[in-house]
Amino acid sequence: MGCSRLDETVQHQLLDQARRAREAAYAPYSSFKVGAAVLTAAGEIFSGCNIENASLGATICAERVAIFTAVAAGCPDLTALAVIADTPDPIAPCGLCRQVLAEFSPNCRVLMATTAGRIRLANLKELLPLAFRFPPAESGEAG
């Protein structure tokens, strides 16, 4: 499955996994629970939830938990990411999560959703047009 297409069945599966992951979120400080799920090129889905810490810098977003879980399982070829939260508008991944996703899937499809069912679909390049690359591109362009 390529990144250019994300059919409704797969969207439903990703959002279902993200919703379930959100239920496990550990957010005692903000009460802001987020769930995420990533789809690999092989069709596997890995999920994650946000995990807060009293030392706020140690907090990790749901998207990175899902991405790191997939990579740790030997599946770094990601094609799509879904993220869901109880917000009025579909929630987008933070900048740090966008950069991490760009490391593994610069053309990834990103499905952003609310618990009430509002959905927005974008390509990661729309959300992070000038992703950092190391070493930088020869042409002087980032991304």
126 is catalytic: no
Taking the C-alpha atoms of residue 84 and residue 137, their distance in angstroms, rounded to an integer, is 33
Type of residue numbered 104? F
Burial class (CB in 10 A: 0-12, 13-18, 19+), 58: exposed
Q: Which of 63, 126, 138, 141 is catalytic?
A: 63
Contact of 131 with 99, CB cutoff 8 Å: yes
Edge-first strand listing for the sheet containing 45-49: 45-49, 34-40, 78-85, 109-114, 119-123
Q: Write out the catalytic residue numbers.
A: 63
